[in-house]
A and B are shown apart, each in its own frame.
Chain A
Amino acid sequence: MIASLVASSALGGRRAARLFERNLLVTRHIWLVVAAGFFEPLFYLLSLGIGIGDLVGQVEVDGRLVDYRAFVAPAMLAASAMNGAVFDTTFNFYYKLRFARTYDAVVSTPLGVDDVALGETLWALARGGVYAAAFLLVMVVMGLIGSAWAVLALPAALLIGFAFAGAGLACTSFLRSWQDLDVLQLAILPMFLFSGTFAPLAAYPAGLRWVVQATPLYHGVELLRSLCTGAVGVSLAGHVLYLTTMGVVGLAVAGRRIGRVLLA
Chain B
Amino acid sequence: MDGAAPLVHARGLTKRFGKATAVDGIDVDVAPGEAFGFLGPNGAGKSSTMRMIGCTSPPTSGTLRILGLDPAADGPRIRARLGVVPQQDTLDTELTVFENLLVYGRYFDLPRGVIRPRAAELLAFFQLAERAGERVEPLSGGMKRRLTIARALINEPQLLLLDEPTTGLDPQARHALWERLYRLKQQGTTLVLTTHYMDEAEQLCDRLVVMDGGRIAAEGSPGELIRRHVSREVLELRFADGVQDHLDLGVLAGIGDRVEALPDRLLLYADDGDAAAAAVHDRGVRPASLLARRSTLEDVFLSLTGRTLVD
A67 contacts partner chain B, Cβ-Cβ < 8 Å:
no
Interface footprint category on A:
20 to 34
Chain B contacts for A264, CB-based, 8 A? 17, 57
Chain A contacts for B108, CB-based, 8 A? 109-110
The answer to whether B57 touches A104, judged by C-beta atoms less than 8 angstroms apart, is no
Query: Chain A: which residue is nearest B100 at the CB level?
Result: A105
Chain B contacts for A111, CB-based, 8 A? 76, 107
Taking a contact as CB atoms closer than 8 A, the residue among B90, B107, B151 that contacts A104 in the complex is B90
Please report the C-alpha to C-alpha distance between residue A100 and residue B109 in the assembled complex, in whole angstroms.
Answer: 23
The answer to whether B92 touches A18, judged by C-beta atoms less than 8 angstroms apart, is no
For A100, A110, A264, the residue with the greatest tally of chain B CB atoms inside 10 Å of its CB is A110
Closest beta carbon of chain B to A101's beta carbon, Å? 4
B35-67 contacts to A, CB under 8 A, are 54, 56-58
Please report the C-alpha to C-alpha distance between residue A100 and residue B91 in the assembled complex, in whole angstroms.
Answer: 8
Interface string of B68-112 (1 = CB under 8 A from A): 000000011101101010101011111100010011101111000
B155-190 contacts to A, CB under 8 A, are 155
Chain B contacts for A21, CB-based, 8 A? 103, 106
The answer to whether A110 touches B79, judged by C-beta atoms less than 8 angstroms apart, is yes
Taking a contact as CB atoms closer than 8 A, the residue among B86, B95, B106 that contacts A26 in the complex is B95
The answer to whether A108 touches B86, judged by C-beta atoms less than 8 angstroms apart, is yes
The answer to whether A108 touches B82, judged by C-beta atoms less than 8 angstroms apart, is yes
For B88, B94, B99, the residue with the greatest tally of chain A CB atoms inside 10 Å of its CB is B94
Interface string of A95-115 (1 = CB under 8 A from B): 000001110111111111000
The answer to whether B77 touches A110, judged by C-beta atoms less than 8 angstroms apart, is yes
Chain B contacts for A112, CB-based, 8 A? 75-76
Q: Count how many chain B residues have C-beta atoms less than 8 Å from C-beta atoms of the other chain.
A: 30
Query: Chain B: which residue is nearest A12 at the CB level?
Result: B76
The answer to whether A26 touches B94, judged by C-beta atoms less than 8 angstroms apart, is yes
Please report the C-alpha to C-alpha distance between residue A21 and residue B84 in the assembled complex, in whole angstroms.
Answer: 21
The answer to whether A25 touches B86, judged by C-beta atoms less than 8 angstroms apart, is no
A22 contacts partner chain B, Cβ-Cβ < 8 Å:
yes
Please report the C-alpha to C-alpha distance between residue A110 and residue B91 in the assembled complex, in whole angstroms.
Answer: 17
Known contacts: A105-B91, A109-B104, A110-B107. The answer to whether A263 contacts B58 by CB under 8 A is yes
Query: Chain B: which residue is nearest A109 at the CB level?
Result: B107
The answer to whether A14 touches B109, judged by C-beta atoms less than 8 angstroms apart, is yes
The answer to whether A18 touches B94, judged by C-beta atoms less than 8 angstroms apart, is no
A64 contacts partner chain B, Cβ-Cβ < 8 Å:
no
Known contacts: A105-B90, A110-B76, A110-B79. The answer to whether A25 contacts B107 by CB under 8 A is no
For B54, B82, B106, the residue with the greatest tally of chain A CB atoms inside 10 Å of its CB is B106
Chain B contacts for A104, CB-based, 8 A? 56, 86, 90
Please report the C-alpha to C-alpha distance between residue A78 and residue B84 in the assembled complex, in whole angstroms.
Answer: 42
Known contacts: A100-B93, A100-B94. The answer to whether A108 contacts B84 by CB under 8 A is yes
A262 contacts partner chain B, Cβ-Cβ < 8 Å:
yes
Please report the C-alpha to C-alpha distance between residue A18 and residue B57 in the assembled complex, in whole angstroms.
Answer: 22
Chain A contacts for B77, CB-based, 8 A? 110
Query: Chain B: which residue is nearest A101 at the CB level?
Result: B90
Closest beta carbon of chain B to A92's beta carbon, Å? 10
Please report the C-alpha to C-alpha distance between residue A211 and residue B235 in the assembled complex, in whole angstroms.
Answer: 79
Interface string of A4-40 (1 = CB under 8 A from B): 0000000000110011011001100110000000000
The answer to whether A262 touches B94, judged by C-beta atoms less than 8 angstroms apart, is no
Please report the C-alpha to C-alpha distance between residue A21 and residue B103 in the assembled complex, in whole angstroms.
Answer: 8
Chain B contacts for A102, CB-based, 8 A? 90, 92-94
The answer to whether A106 touches B107, judged by C-beta atoms less than 8 angstroms apart, is yes
Taking a contact as CB atoms closer than 8 A, the residue among A29, A100, A105, A110 that contacts B86 in the complex is A105
Chain A contacts for B56, CB-based, 8 A? 104, 107-108, 262-263
Chain B contacts for A109, CB-based, 8 A? 79-80, 104, 107-108, 155
Please report the C-alpha to C-alpha distance between residue A26 and residue B96 in the assembled complex, in whole angstroms.
Answer: 9
Interface of A toward B, CB cutoff 8 Å: 14-15, 18-19, 21-22, 25-26, 29-30, 100-102, 104-112, 262-264
14 A–B contacts, CB within 8 A, in A order: A22-B95, A26-B95, A100-B92, A100-B94, A101-B88, A104-B56, A104-B86, A105-B90, A108-B79, A109-B104, A109-B107, A110-B76, A110-B79, A264-B17
Interface of B toward A, CB cutoff 8 Å: 17, 54, 56-58, 75-77, 79-80, 82, 84, 86, 88, 90-95, 99, 102-104, 106-109, 151, 155
Q: What 6 A-B pairs are tightest by C-beta distance, nearest first?
A: A109-B107, A105-B90, A108-B84, A110-B76, A101-B90, A26-B94
10 further contact pairs, Cβ within 8 A, besides A105-B90, A109-B79, A264-B17: A18-B103, A18-B106, A18-B107, A25-B95, A26-B95, A29-B94, A100-B92, A108-B54, A262-B56, A263-B56
